[in-house]
Amino acid sequence: MNDWQRILENEPAITPSPGFSKRVMRAIDAEVRAPAPIPFPWARMGLLLGLMSASVSVMLIMLPWPSVELGVPELSTAFASQANSLAWTSLCVCVVIGLARSSMRWLTA
């Protein structure tokens, strides 16, 4: 074995300072006493997203799109042709969120 390897293997150990373990336990106590981090409100975000999707769906289904003028005639025509599929997409998103939430509740119950 090379000399440097012997030097590295036989390095004398240092001793932690006398108050080290107490200091660590103080840090642990502070950790225990610290309030738990506030979790991100996923449930509320899901609800908000669901409500938004629902309102968009209702708006798209209820409003008579061909009569709405958006200023640019091409844009109005394009929007009117897509409004129906947009409404159904929003409704689907809404249903999916609702199903996901209810299945999560069912799983955690």
Partner 1 sequence: MSASEDRQAVQAVLAGDASAFEGIVERWQGPLVNLAYRFCRDRAQAEDLAQDAFVRIFRALKSYRGEAEFSTWLLAVATNVYRSQLRRMVPELASLEQQVALAETAAEPISEDDREELVRGAVKTLPAKYREAIVLFYFQDMDIAKASSALGVPSGTLKARLFRARAMLEARLRAMFGALSPEES
Question: How many binding residues for partner 1 (CB under 8 A)?
Answer: 23
Alpha carbon of residue 76 to chain centroid: 35
Q: Name 69's Cβ contacts closer than 8 Å, sequence gap at least 6.
A: 76
| 102: amino acid identity, one letter | S
Apex 29 CA angle, 25 and 33, nearest 5: 170
Complex with partner 1: residue 7 or 109, whichever CB lies closer: 7
Q: By CB under 8 A, which span of 21-29, 53-61, 79-87, 98-106 interacts with partner 1?
A: 21-29
69 binds partner 1 (CB under 8 A): no
**Positions in the binding site for partner 1 (CB under 8 A):** 2-5, 7-9, 11, 13-17, 20-21, 23-25, 27-29, 31-32
